[in-house]
Structure 1
Amino acid sequence: MTTPAVTTAEAVPSDTKEFGIVAKLAAEAFGTFLLVFGGLGVALFSNPSSAPLPAPLAIGLSIGVGIAAFGHISGGHFNPAVTLGTAVAGRTPWRRVPGYVLAQLVGGAAGALILWIAVRTLPNLSNVQTIFTQLSNGVDDLSPNKFPMAAGLLAEVVATAAFLAIILGATSKRAARGVAPWAIGLGLAILVQAIAPITNASLNPARSTATVIFAEPSAIGQLWIFWVAPLLGAAITGLIFRGFGSPEDVIVTGAPGAPSFTTVEGASTSGASVEQVEEAEHRKHSATTEDDASFDARDEAEGSIGAGALGEGAEVPPTAEAPRSDENDAKNFFDQNK
């Protein structure tokens, strides 16, 4: 008799169930909201004498907290460049990229909207656009220290490439458990501090898009730089990791039981790429189907033998028994007389 495969959701342990796509997108949107509202809110409203938390550290802590809280749901990207880079590296299914990017843009825009509303309540404030222009990323005249475009592009590409390298290394299977959110957050804080004087530090197209919505047209005109450079840097690191990294270090993003930056639906973190995991699941399903078919065929054959293949009323030949020994006879005698 065959044992049916477990397919119902009730049979799956609650701590290993896969989160649905709505939960994943909501987690990405809220994590990006937290980054923009919390990290940029500190930069916008903090007074060094009363709130001495530096803006780069606030941005890093926002990412670390978001990954720790929601990484087990969506992987904790909160950044289109991270989503692209992890997809290139083989950790995120490509089918998930468009939805993640859209959710991140919505979350970032919502965070900037709350800040814009708060700023608008300040008395005697003539031009809110100027404030958001200073909060946005830029080069040349919009750079905090008037760095040219070449410097800005180089800084954003290198910083984003380094940031994704930190992510891929901290979420490797052989990395220390539990340190990924804080390694990623502190790494981002260091990189933001390093290039803030050049471009005001983007490393994240969703963050750049969120602030230019309420900024002056000059900031909107430079937005393309802060899409192209971070995406390029992330793709470069993703390609390097995919080409030279150890396959056994890979943890794919988005499935049950995985830490942050984790797996494909229903797949374990076995150290394979997305394609390898899906192929293995297909082979497993095929093997299960073949086993069920063979068991059914055997049951049918046994049923036909018992139902009249030897003629009605015919006895099925007994199976051969193992030869009995004196030791077996003695054991049976004592068992019967207990």
Structure 2
Amino acid sequence: MPAGTVVAAGPGLVARLGAEAFGTFFLVLVGVGIALYASFSNVGGGLGVGLGFGVAVLAGIIAVGHVSGGHFNPAVTLGACLAGRTPFRDLLPYWLAQVVGGALAAAVLFLTVPASLPGLVSQGASTSVRSFFSGTANGFAEHSPLATLSNGGAEFSLVAALLVEVIGTAVFVGVILGATDRRANKQHVPFAVGLTLAVLLLLATPVTNGSLNPARSLAAAIFSESWALEQVWLFWVAPLLGAAIAALIYRAFAAEPTEDSLFAEDELYVAEDDVVVHER
């Protein structure tokens, strides 16, 4: 380590996992919660849901992004690892924290659905609530939102759903990697990420109900009808593939250049083994 280097301990793994669980809990609670009651609350359907997810991720990054990096999404974590931003040893712990946070939020929403809600019946209410909750799950073919809206007259196929989720997640992760680049204006990061997620979900919602986040998809599927868990594999494979594509493109064409900072006055921040190194 060069002379004049000051070492400051960064947040520990437990703190970072707590931040990821909280952020994903908040994201799913708001986004899926708005989607769950969109037909009753007059929030603008897909527009309200997209903005809900976008604002939630924006607020989460501002609140705890300095602790964990503000991923709240297994695809973002994979992209960060492949791009060299996050150590691979954090991949599985982050995924576990995100899945647990999302599942807890979905459980809160599921348990608070009133049995007296119009369309639900008191007898066999559990089945009815699962059917109602299925409106928040991600699906394709006969379970795509288009198929529901058209009464089966039209639907998005597995291939269409795969393409939309892969490309949407690739763009989302690409924006995150670019916005958090050391050369970018970091003050704009939460807004860039939140607005990008909102508009991409507006694009993906008619096709798949808008995932781009495996933890969000699994959380909703757990409390929905059986078809949601049967189709949730696509909403892990597609976002992870999209994230990998974005990370590899970033490393190939937009990664930060190696600089000779021998006489530089600027501080460099290098993450090493949970330690932030300030090199003067």
**TM-score of the pair, normalised by structure 2:** 0.83
Q: Partner residue of 2:263?
A: none
Q: Partner residue of 2:149?
A: none
Q: Any idea what the Cα deviations from partners look like across 1:43-91, whole Å, max 9, x if unmatched?
A: 2224677655711001000001001110000000000000001101111
Deviation at 1:263, TM superposition (A): 3.6
* Matching of residues 147-166 of structure 1 within 5 Å: 147-166=156-175
Contact 2:115/2:129 (CA < 8 Å) preserved in 1? no
C-alpha separation in 1, matches of 2:42 and 2:244: 40
1:28 paired with 2:37, answer no
* Matching of residues 37-186 of structure 1 within 5 Å: 37-46=29-38, 51=43, 54-120=48-114, 122-123=116-117, 125-126=120-121, 127-145=128-146, 146-186=155-195
Structure 1 gap segments, 5+ residues each: 251-256, 271-338
* Matching of residues 1-338 of structure 1 within 5 Å: 16-46=8-38, 51=43, 54-120=48-114, 122-123=116-117, 125-126=120-121, 127-145=128-146, 146-248=155-257, 263-264=271-272, 265-268=274-277
Deviation at 1:199, TM superposition (A): 0.4
More strand by share: 2
Q: Percent identity among equivalent residues?
A: 47
Q: Any idea what the Cα deviations from partners look like across 1:254-284, whole Å, max 9, x if unmatched?
A: xxx999xx944223378xxxxxxxxxxxxxx
Higher RCO, 1 vs 2 (CA within 8 Å, ≥6 residues apart): 2
1:44 alignment partner AA: L
Q: How has the CA–CA distance of structure 1 residues 172 and 214 changed in structure 2, closer, same or farther, with 3 Å as cutoff?
A: same
**RMSD, matched Cα:** 2.7
C-alpha separation in 1, matches of 2:278 and 2:77: 18
Contact 1:173/1:248 (CA < 8 Å) preserved in 2? no
Contact 1:173/1:249 (CA < 8 Å) preserved in 2? no
Contact 1:174/1:249 (CA < 8 Å) preserved in 2? no
SS in 1 for 2:85: coil
1:130 alignment partner AA: S
SS in 1 for 2:276: coil
Deviation at 1:123, TM superposition (A): 4.8
SS in 2 for 1:267: strand
SS in 1 for 2:16: helix
SS in 2 for 1:179: helix
Contact 1:213/1:220 (CA < 8 Å) preserved in 2? yes
How many residues get paired? 252
C-alpha separation in 1, matches of 2:13 and 2:31: 26
Q: How has the CA–CA distance of structure 1 residues 237 and 51 changed in structure 2, closer, same or farther, with 3 Å as cutoff?
A: closer
C-alpha separation in 2, matches of 1:129 and 1:76: 31
C-alpha separation in 2, matches of 1:76 and 1:258: 21
Contact 1:79/1:204 (CA < 8 Å) preserved in 2? yes
SS in 1 for 2:187: coil
Deviation at 1:243, TM superposition (A): 2.0
Deviation at 1:246, TM superposition (A): 3.1
C-alpha separation in 1, matches of 2:189 and 2:258: 14
Deviation at 1:241, TM superposition (A): 1.1
**TM-score of the pair, normalised by structure 1:** 0.69
Contact 2:36/2:135 (CA < 8 Å) preserved in 1? no
Regions of 4+ moved over 6 Å = none
Deviation at 1:248, TM superposition (A): 3.7
Q: How has the CA–CA distance of structure 1 residues 121 and 18 changed in structure 2, closer, same or farther, with 3 Å as cutoff?
A: farther
Q: In terms of mean alpha carbon deviation, does 213-222 or 125-134 score higher?
A: 125-134
C-alpha separation in 1, matches of 2:77 and 2:56: 18
Contact 1:72/1:258 (CA < 8 Å) preserved in 2? no
Structure 2 gap segments, 5+ residues each: 122-127, 147-154, 260-266
Deviation at 1:27, TM superposition (A): 0.3
